[in-house]
Structure 1
């Protein structure tokens, strides 16, 4: 019999958390080790469950939010995967969670079957991110050849993508026109087979092209 994946749920909304726990308990592949209401609660409970493999982490929580909790986990328990959960497809939040060390991202309104796929994918491949980026991102992360084809300007643009600057502000900073920045973006999308700014940042971080 296949060993169950041990996970933890960290979310301050009791109804959502218990509902999620109930849904996930239907899958025989998963066992929920514990639930926590925020990052501080997680810090206290993780000491007794150091064998868990993955945490479903809410982003917006009181006392200690998902960003801070994820950074703490990556310092103290780097082997445990973090799957960020959010109500909104907010690109800034996703990028910040990835920069904090999250291994993947899911929307809270995703189906339970999609969540199961995300959990299994993360355990197997080390990374998962909704449908914001193409499935081939996982392949490109393991293959660094494509970075050799990026121009110096594209690499600079890629670095700026991880900030909160708008594309227009990036253009101003690089002393080029907004149209030129659009060209850098479209060129990277084509070369790396991606389709979002989040995808570019994830690729850059995973291939050490972006300094955090």
Structure 2
């Protein structure tokens, strides 16, 4: 029985490379392709009789993580394997949280791509060894997971990040104002916004939390 695949990839060169890798295997059929998450959702609503999606992460209009989450809610039976050049912890964590069934890097060779697809269809999880190792580390260290989750929820403006950086160096409001060509009252307002976003009540708490979630 043939495995029906969809490929979601915005780079035409990489899309052709994936097609060529799958072309070696007669039991794999590429049913359709999409160039971003938005187009993927449109196509999957038209034709959801597929077994597995190979999903890129960084794409315009709708990224691969958000597309994965939406597909899994509506079509939980469809397997999704992330196929990306990005192997940072945040992407891995977000993809797994969104419901991805596997995570492979784009430099995977044809044999291992095929094996990953078949393993996933048989209930396993396709995973590049380096990704598997990082996933284990993430699971062993809940603090890292917590930090990544917190980091998702905190978004500072460039100016707020600058103020926070200066604050962490022990500078006074007046000195920060001088350095950044702002008034002390504007600096104070930025710091109030930082406290609110970080959900803290003191300079020390703000600096500690910002360091923990890699904002400074």
TM-score, with length taken from structure 2: 0.61
Query: Following TM superposition, by how much is the alpha carbon of 1:47 offset from its aligned partner in structure 2, in angstroms?
Result: 2.4
- Which is higher, the Rg of structure 1 or of structure 2? 2
- Which segment is superposed worse, 44-53 or 65-74? 44-53
The answer on whether the counterparts of 2:50 and 2:78 sit within 8 Å (CA) in structure 1 is: yes
**Is residue 25–residue 32 contact of structure 1 (8 Å, CA) maintained in 2?**
no
Q: Aligned residue for 1:133?
A: 132
Q: Structure 1 residue aligned with 2:79, among 81, 84, 89?
A: 81
- Three-state SS of the structure 2 residue aligned to 1:64 is coil
Q: Which runs of 5+ in 2 are unaligned?
A: 152-204, 206-216
Provide structure 1 residue ranges, at least 5 long, that are not aligned to the other structure: 138-153, 166-172, 174-212
Q: Deviations over 1:28-60 (max 9, x none)?
A: 121000000011111111123211010000000
**What is the alpha-carbon distance in structure 1 between the residues aligned to residue 45 and residue 9 of structure 2?**
18
Structure 1 residues 159, 110: CA separation in 2 closer, same or farther (over 3 Å shift)? closer
The 8 Å contact of residues 10 and 36 in structure 1, kept in 2 or not, is answered as yes
Residue 156 to residue 31, structure 1, CA distance change in 2 (3 Å): closer
CA contact (8 A) 1:106 1:129 kept: yes
**TM-score w.r.t. structure 1 length?**
0.63
Q: Distance in 2 between matches of 1:22 and 1:6?
A: 16
Inter-CA distance 62–27: structure 2 relative to 1 (3 Å threshold): same
Q: What is residue 122 of structure 2 aligned with on the other side?
A: 124
Q: Between Structure 1 and Structure 2, how many residues are aligned?
A: 147
Q: Pick closer, same or farther for the CA change 1:31–1:156 going to 2, 3 Å.
A: closer
Moved over 6 A (4+): none
Q: Residues 60-96 of structure 1: CA distance to partner in whole angstroms, max 9, x if unpaired? A: 0001110110111011111101100111321211111
- Give SS of 1:133's match: helix
Q: Which has the higher contact order (CA 8 A, sep 6+)?
A: 1
More helix as a share of residues: 2
